[in-house]
Amino acid sequence: MATTIRDLTYDLLRRHGITTIFGNPGSNELPFLQDFPSDFRYILALHEGVAIGIADGYAQATGRTALVNLHSAAGTGNAMGGFANAWNAHSPLVVTAGQQIRAMIGIEPLLTNLDATTLPKPLVKWSYEPARAEDVPLAMSRALHLSSLPAPGPVYLSIPYDDWAKPAEPESLRLLDRAVSAAGALDAGAAVALAARLERSANPVIVLGPDVDAARTNQHAVRLAERLKAPVWIAPSAPRCPFPTTHPNFRGLLPASMAGISRLLEGHDLVLVAGAPVFRYHQYDPGPLLPAGAELIQITCDPDEAARAPMGDAIVGDVGLILAALADTVCEAERAAPQPREAPPRSAPGAAPLTSERVLDLMDDLAPRDAIYVNESTSTIEAMWERMRWEKPGSYYFGAAGGLGFAMPAAVGVQLAEPNRQVIAVIGDGSANYSVTALWTAAQNNVPVVFVIMRNGTYGALRWFASVLEAERVPGLDVPGIDFVAIATGYGMEAVRVDTDAAFAAAFARALKAGKPSLIEVATACHTA
């Protein structure tokens, strides 16, 4: 009996180590899922934005391509915020969407994905609909390889649903044995030249971004910083933590503004940026791109990031291999090592509502030292970077595109990928509503994330921006009257509401020991800075 295109596709996925599919299926997707293989698992989400968010968290935490199954154009549209996060985070995803049967595409019946390849652009590396059924295996093979090649990112395939049952061409079986790899190391001479440039610097500074953590090369960044005796800043709006926040060289998170960055880097003659864009700005705060007298070197896996940088030199390659080579090659500097930054004092017990700083300190004190935090409490980002003790790679995740709806599903995906580490999702009450159905997926699959909802009844980050932009008399900044305990309970999850130190500490300790998903809604003071 001839191998069908569906069977060959499942074999391809097995060869690439992909046996988990994240999705929310519609009618066009059912033929692919029929007789679902017993060695695969399907993680169902109640909304396509949640499905792609869970897959994104899973892909980032594993460092491997994840497969997402969406429903035609409507499902793709629902997932566009997730595409933006995956694109900006360099998350390797293969996203498939079902297309109408080939015999009817021309008359555009219901559920036709019109101009399917254009729909997800520009937030994908590649978008394709095979011209004939026999091309589906090659398209899937290409998507699997392309998603993980530097810079990693999402790819999109629109597949007519009658293709799956058709026989595969015998020559397509060659796809099962293909291996595609990227080599991005510096040769010895280039490493020595780059190390010499760093050694000549009188006062270098290092800025690290998310691709350092994605490459799990944090330890080499530490070795390089120690040998250069250089302070380390985290790139603006970083969605991952690439350097231990407890290390004496750690300085904190750079602001997302031109003037702010130049002000903090003043006095340094060389800025080494690794694994980050140069730079990802946000609020308009005009000023020099670099301090006077400073030069910049960027190390990135993304040629587009290198090409669009407005200043400095760039090296495109494997961030991990390059940092390791530099740490091995550079001579130890003779200058004094940086003095540890002055950490903020731990917050004292307070009356209800608690400050967000107090809640963060309690979590940091009570959680395991290797806990993973997935954050979407946007008004407390700076407080988290100042107060949390993140030491292991893969300890922090945040939405890379700046929109909301990433953290709740991503926390589920990260926990699926990291079953031996506790995942804690820290969510604002405004943010939580974008993807609250992720609670159902966590409950149904017993994914033991601890969800902490910081409830202050407002969009705190927007209130801060309203003051910056002098646009304070605007509607829609408050979100009162939401009962997250009732919502979580309705989705089958244990939940509790607290408003005191003792109650939060007790609830959080219970949740950490429970071994099942749980939600804590904690009343916090409105924090707008």
Say whether pLDDT at 348 is over 90. Answer: no
Candidate from 153-162, 198-207, 330-339, 478-487 with smallest mean pLDDT: 478-487
Q: What pLDDT does 294 receive?
A: 97
Residues 420-439 pLDDT 10s: 999 999 999 989 999 999 99
Q: What pLDDT does 353 receive?
A: 85
Q: Of residues 16, 47, 71, 90, which has the active-site annotation? A: 71
Preceding amide of 151 cis, omega within 30: yes
**DSSP at 134:** G
Share of the chain above pLDDT 90, in %: 87
71 classed as catalytic: yes
Q: What pLDDT does 471 receive?
A: 64
Residue among 68, 75, 55 nearest 116 (CA) = 75
Q: What pLDDT does 469 receive?
A: 59
Preceding amide of 353 cis, omega within 30: yes
Q: How confident is the model at residue 460 (pLDDT cuts 50, 70, 90)?
A: low
Is residue 265 within 8 Å of 290, Cβ to Cβ? yes
For the chain, give the number of residues: 529
Q: How confident is the model at residue 528 (pLDDT cuts 50, 70, 90)?
A: very low
Q: Of residues 48, 226, 357, 376, which has the active-site annotation? A: 48
Q: What pLDDT does 319 receive?
A: 97
Say whether pLDDT at 89 is over 50. Answer: yes
Q: Which domains does the chain possess?
A: 5-175 (3.40.50.970), 188-329 (3.40.50.1220), 356-523 (3.40.50.970)
How many CB atoms sit inside 10 A of residue 529's CB? 11
Integer Cα distance of 193 and 224 in angstroms: 15
Q: How confident is the model at residue 347 (pLDDT cuts 50, 70, 90)?
A: confident
Q: What pLDDT does 284 receive?
A: 87
Residues 272-301 pLDDT 10s: 999 999 999 988 889 999 999 999 999 999
| Neighbour order of strands in the sheet with 295-300 | 250-253, 232-234, 204-208, 270-274, 295-300, 313-316
Q: Of residues 26, 49, 82, 275, which has the active-site annotation? A: 26
Say whether pLDDT at 414 is over 90. Answer: yes
Integer Cα distance of 454 and 523 in angstroms: 6
Residues 23-77 pLDDT 10s: 999 999 999 999 999 999 999 999 999 999 999 999 999 999 999 999 999 999 9
Higher pLDDT, 379 or 493: 493
90 classed as catalytic: no
Integer Cα distance of 308 and 294 in angstroms: 19
267 classed as catalytic: no
Q: How confident is the model at residue 352 (pLDDT cuts 50, 70, 90)?
A: confident
Consecutive H or E run containing 66:
strand 66-70
Integer Cα distance of 387 and 355 in angstroms: 13
Say whether pLDDT at 350 is over 80. Answer: no
Q: Of residues 29, 129, 226, 357, which has the active-site annotation? A: 29
Higher pLDDT, 473 or 381: 381
386 classed as catalytic: no
Average pLDDT for the chain:
94
Say whether pLDDT at 133 is over 90. Answer: yes
Say whether pLDDT at 139 is over 70. Answer: yes
Residues 229-276 pLDDT 10s: 999 999 999 999 999 999 999 999 999 999 999 999 999 999 999 999
172 classed as catalytic: no
- In the block, residue with structure tokens 């390059």: 322
Q: Of residues 171, 266, 267, 282, which has the active-site annotation? A: 282
C-alpha 20, offset from chain centre: 19
- Which pTM was predicted? 0.95
Say whether pLDDT at 462 is over 60. Answer: no
E strand intervals along 229-292:
232-234, 250-253, 270-274
Q: What pLDDT does 529 receive?
A: 44
Residues 477-518 pLDDT 10s: 676 779 999 999 999 999 999 999 999 999 999 999 999 999
Report the sign of the C-alpha dihedral through residues 65, 70, 75, 76, in that order.
positive
Mean pLDDT along residues 176-180: 94
